[in-house]
Amino acid sequence: MQERRYSICPFCGLGCGFYLATVNGEVTGVDYAMDHPFNEGALCSKGNTSFEVIQRHDRLFEPMMRVENDFKAVSWEDALATIASRLKEIKEEHGAQSIGIFASAKATNEENYLVQKFARKVLETGNVDNGMRLCHAPSMLAFTESFGLPYPTGLLEDLEYADCILIIGCNPFENAPVLARRILRARETGAKIIVADPRRTRTSWHSDFYLPIYPGTDIQLIKAFIQTILQSKLERKEFLRERVENLDGLERLAVDSSPEIVSSRVGIEAEYIRKVALTFALADRASIVFGNGLTQHVNGTEAVGWLVNLALITGNVGRRGTGVFPLLDQCNMMGASDMGALPEFQPGYAQAEHKGLTLIEMVEAAHSEKMKAIFIIGINPIGSFPDTSFVKEALTKLDLLIVQDIFMTETAKLADFVLPTACWAETEGTFTSTGRRLQKLSRAVEPPGAALEGWRIIAKLADQLGKGEIFRYDSWEEIFKEIVTNVRNYEGLTIDDVSRIGGVITPKDRGQLYEDKFETKNGRAKWQRTTHATNIERESLPFTLISGKILHHHGTGSMTRKIGFAMQETGEPFLEISEEDLGALGIRSGDEVYVRSGLGEIRVKTKVARIKPKVVFLPFHFPDSSPNNLIPNNLDQASKTPELKGIPVSISKAK
């Protein structure tokens, strides 16, 4: 029998909707949701081929327990009983804070809500965090400080109404192609597109102004924009006077950041910086889109703060076609954070009574043997955290490592217990997109083998630990009803709201935030002045390495490396390097090189690219050649987000 069930793309955070087509209980492909209000039926290559991972032969089918150096299949009853017993022992001997949970930004809101509830109510630990920490915790903190909420300020689809769009630290034409359609619509109606990126990407091809800045100089460029705007007296005085506080000494704020001063640092002519700044300032409706290239630095929170300041000084918040928009990496990164799967926040961003450890801090605690047990759900630290060797050492020092996933990832191979979970097509519940769109997933097929929905695993484990009475749920709907009671900005939402094609915007009926006031105590936005940066001693090496995403792959590649088309298009890693640097090294495009830092080396083929000289790019989708093998563990001290960009390396031809 042929059927189709509505679903949400399991990759980036845009929340594109589509239908999964099934025949006799097997997924055969995708159908397009032409009436979806955001993607309008459009999908990128990852969305189009996402169904290929569902019925893979190498899915996890049954719980497994490590026996010496191998895994043995066990029943759910035995697995959960043994895990519960060992967690009790660890808690009694070392205390609740010796246990941590890595929540999944790919799991539903309902699962994440139960995960944080399990951590706080059952294990009695605040050590719970999700993948937001690796990329957009700086955005969450800077937005909350200035605006009062951690969200993008408007609807992503409203970018097409902008007169000017600044794109910095991201490459939406490759990493969020469906959003790129909105940017193109804006340009077709006269909007000016500004792109700041060391690489000449597909996004930059569609720009009116291209700024090939040096990695890590984003703050200096943004401050030069602000200084130019102030010097030209183009700040929106009425908006600042009525809606922004903390403006004392504004005219002196960027005095050390004139285009002439920062020109040599960022690698852009002063006059061109000034021209771009004036283009942005003179636009009636300007928007800012940014990504990990801005946030994954030791000053990531400060960098987002300066973008917020740029939006405020030009009055570009609270109107359609204006705003500040981070591009989140995973399908439910926003939702996992809303649910309170964070150490500093409970559901709805209420301050946690006792702040726990972040992802990287938990790894550090495991390495120092203070952390004794970690439960990792749908995240692959071996592929996504900096200093891969350190992470491996830390995880192998644990007394208990539990991994819940759909495949035997690099991290799962180190576990004491591996628990098979349902993928997005085999469960029901909700995702919240980057654009605050809350949507329901429909189950298209049953989970394979003995695999269970994630929320059911958490509830069963809570029962084994004697807390089953507060985890008595028969369906995702029951958890959802608890969520709308307890999570700020989800109040008043119903099953009918989220079940519509395109779902519902949170907070309900507020597509454009901050039209009249901000969500701060006094209703005014806060101009950000805080310097969060940490001085880092860096090696003196000739090249600067940046890592990132490429068109057909996603994350650590645990799913996309199992998709035929993605591997056909890009089946191995590569190092982008300029033609000038290839010539200086005496090598050709396609030759293999060693890329070295103080942590080690990797061997990889070169690929000539239009990229700033002395800057190289390496995608992180291939763990054996991941740039994270070379990246030291330096953190933005405000958000505890690791620096994954701008790493000194040397390059030599492989023998």
CATH number of 64-133+340-428+454-490: 3.40.50.740
Measured distance CA(378)–CA(396) in Å, rounded: 18
307 in Cβ contact with 168 (< 8 Å): yes
Mean pLDDT across 58-81: 97
Hey, what CATH class is 137-326 in? alpha beta
pLDDT at 127: 98
pLDDT at 246: 82
For 91-143, what is each residue's pLDDT tens digit? 999 999 999 999 999 999 999 999 999 999 999 999 999 999 999 999 999 99
Mean pLDDT across 425-438: 98
Q: Report residue 313's pLDDT band, with 50, 70 and 90 as the boundaries.
A: very high
Handedness of CA 140, 145, 150, 155 (dihedral sign): negative
pTM: 0.97
**N-term to C-term CA, the chain:** 58
pLDDT at 531: 67
For 205-225, what is each residue's pLDDT tens digit? 999 999 999 999 999 999 999
List the domain boundaries for the chain.
64-133+340-428+454-490, 137-326, 543-653
- When the candidates are 3.40.50.300, 2.40.40.20, 3.20.20.70, 2.60.120.380, the CATH number that belongs to 543-653 is 2.40.40.20
Max Cα separation, the chain?
A: 71
Inform me whether the pLDDT recorded for 636 exceeds 70.
yes
Measured distance CA(487)–CA(497) in Å, rounded: 16
Inform me whether the pLDDT recorded for 254 exceeds 70.
no
For 183-194, what is each residue's pLDDT tens digit? 999 999 999 999
pLDDT at 500: 97
pLDDT at 534: 59
For 137-184, what is each residue's pLDDT tens digit? 999 999 999 999 999 999 999 999 999 999 999 999 999 999 999 999
Handedness of CA 175, 177, 179, 185 (dihedral sign): positive
Measured distance CA(577)–CA(543) in Å, rounded: 10
Mean pLDDT across 286-302: 97
For 13-69, what is each residue's pLDDT tens digit? 999 999 999 999 999 999 999 999 999 999 999 999 999 999 999 999 999 999 988
Q: Report residue 539's pLDDT band, with 50, 70 and 90 as the boundaries.
A: confident
Report the mean per-residue pLDDT for the chain: 96
Q: Report residue 607's pLDDT band, with 50, 70 and 90 as the boundaries.
A: very high
432 in Cβ contact with 130 (< 8 Å): no
Q: Hey, which residues does 374 pair with through a beta bridge?
A: 100, 401
Q: Report residue 518's pLDDT band, with 50, 70 and 90 as the boundaries.
A: very high
Beta strands per DSSP E along 75-148: 99-102, 128-129
User: Smallest Cα–Cα separation from 634: which of 546, 489, 487, 533?
Assistant: 533
State how beta strands 128-129 and 99-102 pair. parallel
Inform me whether the pLDDT recorded for 532 exceeds 60.
no
